[in-house]
Amino acid sequence: MHTLLEAPETKVLRASTSGPLALARALADEFARTAVQRDMAGGTPKDERDAIRRSGLLGLIVPTEYGGHGATWTETLQVVREIARVDSSVAHVFAFQHLLLATVRLFGSAAQWRPLFEKTVRHDWFWGNALNPLDTRTVCTPRDGGFEFNGQKSFCSGALDADMLIASAIDEASGKLVLAALPRDREGIHLFPDWDNMGQRQTDSGSARFERVRIEQHEVLAVPGPLSSPFACLRPLIAQLILSNIYLGIAEGALAEARRYTNGQSRAWPAAQVAAATEDPYVLGTYGEFWVGLEGARLLTERAAHSLDTAWARDLDLSETERGEVAVNVAAAKVATTRVGLDLTSRMFEVAGARSTTAALRLDRFWRNLRTHTLHDPVAYKIRELGDWSLNGSYPTPSFYS
């Protein structure tokens, strides 16, 4: 029998499954089979990305009138979490697909995003990231009625196996950020497989070099442009909530693995004077703490997703205050999922026992992935923003990270 990773006929699953979440669970089951080996190997998860291409899930957030599923952000992020429980690297690049489509929608004109949405669904385009607002080494200069990108770029997640890119550069004259949507195979784009970090090892978050890369006027996302309205300022909140859902998925996956090991392999400590590790009062207490922490983080994350859906539906009518409410909800979810996730993925070994540290299981991948990803931006600044809101009633100031 063919697996989802192998079968060229997998597109039939678009109509035959009960919905995107069911399909995501089927994909996650397949990804779980090789997650340990692929974590060790690093590199591009080519088979897994191709399985997602065939599934039709790349158009999950695209409205139905443009051929997509028309999913809400709540539904889309549930799919991200489902994959993140077993493979946070693949979940990362899959989630960024929808962030980058949102970038086109929020920063570009209807004449830009509508055909790009339709082509994404029709051609199963995977979008990659070459947008890093903190990396200002790539410069944009006018050239023959268009523009030219030149320079280096770091943290280009998912770009190596992408069909399309969102790339950023700094305007040579004004110093402003310029964003463009362009084909991955455009002449002059060089992507390097130099991502070899301790976690998120299959996100291909390596570097890029742009050498006289031609950018046409219609490829620049300038109308209405980056962070041009409260609605456009939802983009960083989508990014932050995507990270929160990946963190939550990692923590949920870690708890499932810990539970499986405690039930099947762990031994009772002699001083506990119980027959099995599952009866040890300290083990039970730790699992209770895990559950409470995860339940709180989950509820905060789901509340933030629902508030994002409400704001998304407002479109250009979204007010600064309404956007601010979403920002507070997202920041709270980000703090909770970071803290709970790091605690759980570290302490899971206390309830699994010494044998669970065997390299063959690589259970440390949950902590490594979470620790690597939570350094995306310092959570301390989210706490400061929440403190300013709690004490002074000031909403987080819109930026590419808040």
Where does a domain end: 128, 157, 174? 128
Residue 40 confidence (pLDDT): 96
Rounded to whole angstroms, the Cα distance separating 250 from 309 reads 23
Pair (93, 181) in one structural domain = no
Q: Is 314 among the domain residues?
A: yes
Rounded to a whole number of angstroms, the distance between the first and last alpha carbons of the chain is: 47
Q: What is the pLDDT along the chain (402 residues), one digit of tens a residue?
A: 446 676 544 443 454 456 999 999 999 999 999 999 999 999 999 999 999 999 999 999 999 999 999 999 999 999 999 999 999 999 999 999 999 999 999 999 999 999 999 999 999 999 999 999 999 999 999 999 999 999 999 999 999 999 999 999 999 999 999 999 999 999 999 999 999 999 999 999 999 999 999 999 999 999 999 999 999 999 999 999 999 999 999 999 999 999 999 999 999 999 989 999 999 999 999 999 999 999 999 999 999 999 999 999 999 999 999 999 999 999 999 999 999 999 999 999 999 999 999 999 999 999 999 999 999 999 999 999 999 999 999 999 999 999
- 3-state SS of 297-342? HHHHHHHHHHHHHHHHHHHHHCCHHHHHHHHHHHHHHHHHHHHHHH
Are 215 and 75 a contacting pair, CB within 8 Å? no
The structure tokens 């997650």 sit at 35
In single-letter form, the type of residue at position 47 comes to D
Q: Is 165 among the domain residues?
A: yes
Residue 291, number of CB atoms within 10 A of its CB = 12
Residue 12 confidence (pLDDT): 37
CATH number at residue 108: 1.10.540.10
Pair (62, 97) in one structural domain = yes
Cα dist from 215 to 86, 109, 175, 199, whole Å: 38, 17, 17, 33
Indicate the DSSP class of residue 146.
E
Pairing of strands 139-143, 164-171: parallel
Q: Is 146 exposed, middle or buried (0-12, 13-18, 19+ CB in 10 A)?
A: middle
Are 280 and 274 a contacting pair, CB within 8 Å? yes
Q: Is 365 among the domain residues?
A: yes
Residue 24 confidence (pLDDT): 97
Domain count, the chain: 3
Rounded to whole angstroms, the Cα distance separating 252 from 291 reads 10
Beta pairing partners, 214: 148
Pair (188, 171) in one structural domain = yes
**pTM to 2 decimal places:** 0.95
Pair (71, 149) in one structural domain = no
Domain that includes residue 81, residue range: 10-128
CATH number at residue 149: 2.40.110.10
Residue 89 confidence (pLDDT): 98
* Best CA proximity match to 57, nearest among 106, 4, 103, 134: 4
Q: Is 398 among the domain residues?
A: no
Q: Is 140 among the domain residues?
A: yes
Q: What is the pLDDT of residues 257-305, one digit of tens each?
A: 999 999 999 999 999 899 999 999 999 999 999 999 999 999 999 999 9
Q: Is 75 among the domain residues?
A: yes
Where does a domain end: 191, 219, 247? 219
Pair (250, 379) in one structural domain = yes
Pairing of strands 189-191, 146-153: unpaired
Pair (198, 263) in one structural domain = no
Q: What is the pLDDT of residues 327-337, one digit of tens each?
A: 999 999 999 99
Are 110 and 103 a contacting pair, CB within 8 Å? no
Pair (208, 331) in one structural domain = no
**Coil vs helix vs strand at 358:** coil
Residue 181 confidence (pLDDT): 98
Residue 11 confidence (pLDDT): 46
Q: What is the pLDDT of residues 195-210, one digit of tens each?
A: 999 999 999 999 999 9
Pair (277, 330) in one structural domain = yes
Where does a domain end: 194, 219, 244? 219
Pair (364, 267) in one structural domain = yes
Pairing of strands 127-130, 208-215: unpaired
CATH number at residue 253: 1.20.140.10
Pair (150, 63) in one structural domain = no
Q: Is 225 among the domain residues?
A: no
**Coil vs helix vs strand at 155:** coil
Q: Is 213 among the domain residues?
A: yes
Pair (370, 323) in one structural domain = yes
Q: Is 4 exposed, middle or buried (0-12, 13-18, 19+ CB in 10 A)?
A: buried
Beta pairing partners, 8: none
In single-letter form, the type of residue at position 383 comes to I
Beta pairing partners, 168: 179
Pair (140, 121) in one structural domain = no
